[in-house]
Amino acid sequence: MGDIKEIFEVWASRAKSPLFGYFSLSFVATNWKAIFFLLFADKDVISRIEYFDSNTCAETLLWIPLGISIVAALSYPWIQFVFLYATTGPINLRNKLNAKSESNLLLVKVELENARNELIRQREKEIIDKAQIDEKLEDIDDESAREKARSEIKAIRDSEGLLRQPINRETLQRYLLVRFPNLPVDRKIITIFLNDLNLNRYKLIGDVEEVLNSSKEFVEFYKEKKPEVFKSSIDYVTKSFGYFDQEFRKKHGFSNETRQTMEDYTRT
């Protein structure tokens, strides 16, 4: 068995040559029965050789395998060419798509970088503007007028800064105190509101401000119709979001009458 193994190893190393490889494969394919009997039959050596000799000839041992190997060696480059030619179009399309995707990604990165730079410039401008305003305040001779202006400017700045804060219980309560200073703050309803709010969509207090402004006409209409449902500052917020956002409307515990009013007003 060791000799047979060595024969196969030598055969395999020779098969790496294209022509010899094709010849080896075609030789085995043409004479496989005789080869198998010669190597593995449970007969004496003479009988196996006689069987091999009687089932093979010069054509099967040489000419047929040689002809097949020559045809295969000559045909393979053309077959490879046909496959490469057939796949050239899809490969080019794929490369174009990849190039377009990379180009779009680069454009997005450039846009984000430009937006970040613009935001930095805006913040720098705000700092400069604030410094100039503070400097002009000192030119006001009347002390009471100066302090009043300083107080009003501080309130505006605090309000603007609050709008950039993320939405949570503390920032929302502060916002409600600024936006509705004469109304009580219902902390229980605030908790329910935050649980029902999609914080992936609404992230900053400024988003709450935007919804309130967008729903102002509806809130005024509903308040005139049902003033008793606007007891605290958070009631204005929940009604605004219920009118503005159908997802919140479905999730929040509005009464049937309130839901119907929102739907009717939306259709008008």
pLDDT at residue 6, rounded to an integer: 63
- Both 178 and 263 in one domain: the answer is yes
**162/154: higher pLDDT:** 162
CA atoms within 13 A on the CB side of 58: 0
Say which residues have a Cβ less than 8 Å from residue 31's Cβ, sequence separation at least 6. Answer: 55, 56, 60, 61
**140/30: higher pLDDT:** 30
Strand, coil or helix: what is 111?
Answer: helix
Indicate the residue among 63, 84, 101 that finishes a domain. 101
CA 198 – CA 266 distance, rounded (Å)? 21
- Both 261 and 179 in one domain: the answer is yes
Q: What is the pLDDT of residues 39-90, one digit of tens each?
A: 787 778 787 778 777 777 878 777 887 788 788 778 878 888 888 888 888 8
Q: Which residues pair with 204 in a beta bridge?
A: 166
Indicate the residue among 69, 84, 101 that finishes a domain. 101
* pLDDT at 104 exceeding the cut of 70: yes
pLDDT band at 234 (very low <50, low <70, confident <90, very high): very high
pLDDT at residue 126, rounded to an integer: 61
pLDDT band at 184 (very low <50, low <70, confident <90, very high): very high
- Both 168 and 88 in one domain: the answer is no
Which of 23-27, 44-48, 140-144, 164-168 has the least mean pLDDT?
140-144
Of the candidates 251, 177, 191, 259, the residue with the CA atom closest to the CA atom of residue 222? 259
Tokens of 206: 């400024």
